Homo-oligomer: A and B are copies of this chain.
Amino acid sequence: MRQRTHVGVVGPGDGATEEQVQRAREVGRLLALAGAVVVTGGLGGVMAAAARGCGDAGGLSLGLLPGADRADAGAPHTLTVPTGLGELRNGLLVRSSDVVVAVGPSWGTLSEVALAVRTGVPVVLLGWGTLADHLPQDAGVPAPLRAATPQDAVQLALGDRDG
């Protein structure tokens, strides 16, 4: 049975900029239109925006919350897992994702990008500025891809997959 592609959409929470929020919503919408599942960290900012964009297009979303209370979700998700793991849920989000789209940097987001690269999960960076030029270059490890727009990011994330 074909499994839908699960795409982690990560980025700053409450400190997200308006541009990041708009981009994340569009990324979520485009992923849903392509038939992919949107996986988020379940809180605000980029996470909530991606879930809303996914919902706009009638897609499926999964929110992996750091706390133990489902009611803490920053936006409606199809299903939620109140992990109670705190920031260790970042690693669980990476495991749950076939590919990760990171909309803008933050320390928490950087931990997810680093864990994804470390464990072989492809990463697409959207709006990472100069940090993207100075990331580690471990031998034999594919570097993150860079996207210029939400459309570009989704295309890079899904490649030839249709979701």
Q: Is A62 an interface residue (CB 8 A)?
A: yes
20 new A-B contacts at CB < 8 Å, known A37-B79, A62-B79, A82-B95: A3-B70, A64-B81, A81-B96, A82-B96, A83-B92, A84-B85, A84-B95, A85-B92, A86-B95, A86-B119, A87-B91, A88-B91, A88-B95, A92-B92, A105-B136, A107-B114, A110-B136, A111-B118, A131-B134, A133-B134
Please, how many residues of chain A have a CB less than 8 angstroms from a CB on the other chain? 53
- Of all chain B residues, the one with the shortest Cβ separation from A135 is B131
Contacts of A78 in B (CB 8 A): 60, 78-79
A15 close to B134 (CB less than 8 A): no
